[in-house]
């Protein structure tokens, strides 16, 4: 077995593929956080007074809060005064009116990332809103979507064009004071995506946002708000990358979903932020609050996430199942390699009658990675006949990694049924030998076994992204077993 660890380490040394820096003139606010900086951000974005007030309220509350430490994470102290809270490519001063006006270098960046911003987007039928550092640089397919009555734009644009909608729903699922990082985001968020699907409309294409952190010492604080009116359907995907930097960079986003009667929101994430180097230097702190509200009857919210990047991932995409018969789903693949840490899971809050939730979590740990699943299933007294099924599987690759499971279950209604299954397996030496004995190479065998392990989650992703997720996992894991 002596060869095993050698091969593992050799092949785990896979380099981060998106680690390039784009050399662009950026308009960056000096590091530091104060009411003045927040006012400056708000002014740069031509925001109305109510929004500035909302930000300041969040900021004042944030000052009274402490960074939580309950997660199973080892986090270097964050100096919030050393972060720049706004960075925009310079050319944004005269905001591009169409994609043709976008800085070609930026487009090249997206090209390298494989973001289908141009014709590729058209072919793939994907509308992309790309957020670069702090601002949204162009949204494709706007016209096609407008015809269906769908609004898909940057958050800043939504503030200008659809202030009533923003004002009505902003903070309605994740309040400003929700938690430390959500409060910080509420104070300083710079951009993000806004989606509105009107009553009865089935969004004609997949919506997609790509986030990229480029500038040095910049935090990224985007805010996404998706509203699905009664009977509407939408499938939304976000992808994330960042260049290689020795310093840790903070990404503290907030995502809010609102599903009205019989609406259906499917939110998928393929997260590949820079994970840091083999020694654990650098990498993104991915501290995100994602929550969906099934506000009315028969609505459904489904989270699917494939988390392969970031030095530290700390997020729990959750569902508040308020409407009767509403459904919440969480499908997750989280991979940690080298010194990556992840503490991720979900919360399913059952409030309405006959609400159902499903949680499928697949954690893969390799190298010295630490992977924790943390999930809460809460059934309130009002949630008669609530149902939850949780399946939580961990796979360990190598001998120095860890997997941890923290399920919390609170049931306050006797008619509820909650099931929890958990397994932990080491990537079978047996499985591996079985494949080798049939002539399959080690590398193919590992990706085959891991892919099989994640299948339940991958099949929830839109087709083209399932392929991407699978490829990403293969890259992140190449040679994880010897």
Partner 1 sequence: MLKIKELHASVEGKEILKGLDLEVNAGEVHAIMGPNGSGKSTLGNVIAGREGYEVTRGEVAYQGKNLLELEPEERACEGVFLAFQYPVEIPGVNNTYFLRAALNAQRKHRGEEPLDSVGFLRLVRERLEVLHIGDELLHRAVNEGFSGGEKKRNEIFQMAVLEPKLAILDETDSGLDIDALKAVAEGVNQLRSPERAIILVTHYQRLLEYIKPDRVHVLSEGRIVASGGPELALKLEEQGYTWLEDGGIAELEQAAV
In the complex, which residues of this chain contact partner 1 (CB under 8 A)?
1, 3-4, 428-431, 433-442, 444, 448-449, 451-456
Asked if residue 323 lies in contact with residue 297, where contact means CB atoms within 8 angstroms, the answer is yes
SS3 381: coil
Minimal distance, residue 425 CB to partner 1, in Å: 9
Nearer to partner 1 by Cβ, of 4 and 35: the residue is 4
Nearer to partner 1 by Cβ, of 76 and 430: the residue is 430
Nearer to partner 1 by Cβ, of 436 and 463: the residue is 436
Nearer to partner 1 by Cβ, of 65 and 440: the residue is 440
Nearer to partner 1 by Cβ, of 408 and 433: the residue is 433
Minimal distance, residue 438 CB to partner 1, in Å: 4
Minimal distance, residue 445 CB to partner 1, in Å: 8
Max CA separation in the chain (angstroms): 69
Minimal distance, residue 482 CB to partner 1, in Å: 9
Which among 303, 370, 304 has a CA at the least distance from the CA of 338?
A: 370
Which two three-digit tokens encode residue 395? 């796979």
Minimal distance, residue 449 CB to partner 1, in Å: 6
Note the residue count of the chain. Answer: 482
With 0-12 / 13-18 / 19 or more C-beta atoms within 10 angstroms meaning exposed / middle / buried, residue 408 is: exposed
Which among 239, 233, 264, 261 has a CA at the least distance from the CA of 324?
A: 261
Instruction: State how far Cα 395 lies from the chain centre.
Output: 22
Where do runs of H (alpha helix) occur along 428-477?
Answer: 429-437, 442-458, 463-477
Asked if residue 461 lies in contact with residue 126, where contact means CB atoms within 8 angstroms, the answer is no
Q: Quote the Cα angle for 76-31-222, to 5°.
A: 75
Nearer to partner 1 by Cβ, of 320 and 454: the residue is 454
Rounded distance between C-alpha atoms, residue 458 and residue 453, angstroms:
10
Nearer to partner 1 by Cβ, of 386 and 481: the residue is 481
Minimal distance, residue 423 CB to partner 1, in Å: 10
Minimal distance, residue 328 CB to partner 1, in Å: 24
Nearer to partner 1 by Cβ, of 2 and 97: the residue is 2
Which H/E stretch holds residue 53? helix 49-63
> How many other C-beta atoms can be found within 10 angstroms of the C-beta atom of residue 95?
15
Which among 323, 312, 377, 386 has a CA at the least distance from the CA of 346?
A: 377
Minimal distance, residue 1 CB to partner 1, in Å: 6
């Amino acid at each position: 077995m002596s060869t095993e660890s050698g091969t593992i380490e050799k092949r785990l040394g896979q380099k981060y593929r998106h680690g390039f820096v784009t050399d662009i003139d950026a308009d960056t606010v000096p590091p530091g956080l104060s009411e003045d900086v927040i006012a400056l951000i708000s002014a740069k974005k031509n925001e109305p007074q109510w929004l500035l007030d909302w930000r300041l309220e969040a900021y004042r509350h944030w000052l009274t809060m402490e960074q939580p430490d309950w997660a199973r994470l080892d986090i270097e102290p964050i100096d919030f005064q050393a972060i720049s809270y706004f960075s925009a490519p310079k050319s944004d001063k005269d905001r591009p009116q169409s994609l043709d006006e976008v800085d070609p270098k930026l487009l090249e960046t997206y090209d390298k990332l494989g973001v289908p911003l141009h014709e590729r987007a058209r072919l793939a039928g994907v509308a992309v809103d790309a957020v670069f550092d702090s601002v949204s640089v162009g949204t494709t397919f706007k016209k096609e979507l407008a015809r269906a009555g769908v609004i898909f734009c940057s958050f800043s644009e939504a503030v200008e064009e659809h202030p009533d909608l923003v004002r009505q729903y902003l903070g309605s699922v994740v309040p400003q004071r929700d938690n430390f990082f959500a409060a910080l985001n509420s104070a300083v968020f710079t951009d993000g995506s806004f989606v509105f699907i009107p009553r009865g409309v089935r969004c004609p294409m997949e919506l997609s946002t790509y986030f990229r952190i480029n500038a040095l010492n910049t935090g990224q604080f985007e805010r996404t708000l998706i509203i699905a009116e009664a009977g509407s359907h939408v499938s939304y995907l976000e992808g994330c990358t960042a260049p290689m930097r020795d310093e840790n960079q903070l990404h503290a986003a907030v995502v809010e979903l609102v599903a009205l009667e019989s609406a259906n929101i499917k939110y998928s994430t393929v997260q590949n932020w820079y994970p840091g180097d083999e020694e654990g230097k650098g990498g993104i702190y991915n501290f995100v609050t994602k929550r969906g509200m099934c506000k009315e009857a028969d609505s459904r919210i489904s989270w699917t996430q494939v988390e392969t990047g970031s030095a530290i991932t700390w997020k729990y995409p959750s569902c508040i199942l308020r409407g009767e018969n509403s459904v919440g789903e969480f499908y997750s693949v989280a991979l940690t390699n080298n010194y990556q840490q992840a503490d991720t899971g979900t919360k399913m809050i059952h409030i309405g009658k006959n609400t159902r939730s499903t949680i499928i979590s697949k954690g893969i740990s390799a190298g010295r990675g630490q992977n924790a699943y943390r999930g809460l299933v809460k059934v309130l007294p009002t949630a008669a006949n609530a149902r939850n099924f949780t399946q939580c599987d961990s796979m360990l690759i190598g001998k120095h990694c860890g997997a941890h499971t923290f399920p919390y279950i609170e049931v306050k209604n006797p008619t509820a049924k909650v099931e929890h299954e958990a397994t932990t397996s080491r990537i079978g030496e047996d499985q591996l030998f079985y494949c080798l004995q049939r002539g399959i190479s080690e590398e193919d065998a590992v990706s085959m076994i891991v892919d099989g392990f994640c299948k339940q989650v991958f099949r929830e992703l839109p087709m083209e992204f399932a392929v991407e997720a699978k490829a990403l996992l293969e890259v992140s894991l190449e040679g994880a077993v010897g």
